[in-house]
Amino acid sequence: MYHVVAATTNPAKIKAIQLAFDDVFGAGQYRIEPVDVASGVSLQPIGNHETRTGARQRVMEARQVRPEADFWVGVEAGIEENMTFAWMTIENPSIRGESRSASLMLPEVILQGIRGGRELGSEMATITGNAEVKRQGGAIGVFTDGRLSRTSVYHQALLLALVPFHNAIYQQ
């Protein structure tokens, strides 16, 4: 059984990790251990580079906390121009897989708050009245009327980040 360390305690992100590992390795073939680690970047990462750095830093921190694990998974959401997206970084002792999620265009009222130094999650909590929105469907869930969610979009990107771990061509 694989020991998977999720470098997050966010239930929406953990669920996405679970779904991706179910799809690739099978249910019951792993256990996920959430750990609360620092991203090393801003609370609201801005730009592709800072967001990817946050995902990689989370993995690095998780590896230090749980060096005995088989996999470490970092998910970092960020803002680039007028879009929200996330980077997925997955490592085992010898391979790294990464992917960037789909992007969602944000309305100007949300972007104004972000430019003012606030996090997307805080802005979404203000407009929805739900303080837990970022731990649930997120902005994606709100703006797609539940057709998509943070979990569903991150699940897809995590599947892509797992490709190097089960396709031999990446290991040549």
Q: What is the pLDDT of residues 114-158, one digit of tens each?
A: 999 999 999 999 999 988 888 788 899 999 999 999 999 999 999
Tell me the three state secondary structure of residue 85.
Answer: strand
Dihedral pair phi/psi, residue 89, rounded to 5°? -125, 125
The answer on whether 12 is annotated among ligand-binding residues is yes
Residue 155: its pLDDT value, please? 98
The owner of tokens 């929406």 is 12
Identity of the amino acid at 87: W
The answer on whether 10 is annotated among ligand-binding residues is yes
Residue 134: its pLDDT value, please? 81
In this model, does residue 25 exceed pLDDT 90?
A: yes
The answer on whether 38 is annotated among ligand-binding residues is no
Other Cβ atoms closer than 10 A to 95: 12
Q: Where are the alpha helices (DSSP H) in the chain?
A: 11-25, 48-65, 108-115, 120-128, 138-143, 150-161, 163-166
Identity of the amino acid at 132: E
For residue range 63-91, list pLDDT tens digits in order.
999 999 999 999 999 999 999 999 999 99
Dihedral pair phi/psi, residue 91, rounded to 5°? -130, 150
In this model, does residue 172 exceed pLDDT 80?
A: no
Instruction: Check if the beta carbon of residue 77 is closer than 8 Å to that of residue 45.
Output: yes
Residues paired with residue 87 on neighbouring β-strands, in sequence order: 76, 100
The owner of tokens 């100007």 is 108
Average model confidence (pLDDT) across the chain: 95
In this model, does residue 161 exceed pLDDT 90?
A: yes
Mean pLDDT of 54-65: 98
The answer on whether 134 is annotated among ligand-binding residues is no
Residue 136: its pLDDT value, please? 81
Q: Where are the alpha helices (DSSP H) in 66-161?
A: 108-115, 120-128, 138-143, 150-161
The answer on whether 68 is annotated among ligand-binding residues is yes
Instruction: Check if the beta carbon of residue 63 is closer than 8 Å to that of residue 73.
Output: no
CA distance 159 to 172: 20
Residues paired with residue 88 on neighbouring β-strands, in sequence order: 75, 99
CA distance 152 to 139: 12
The answer on whether 8 is annotated among ligand-binding residues is yes
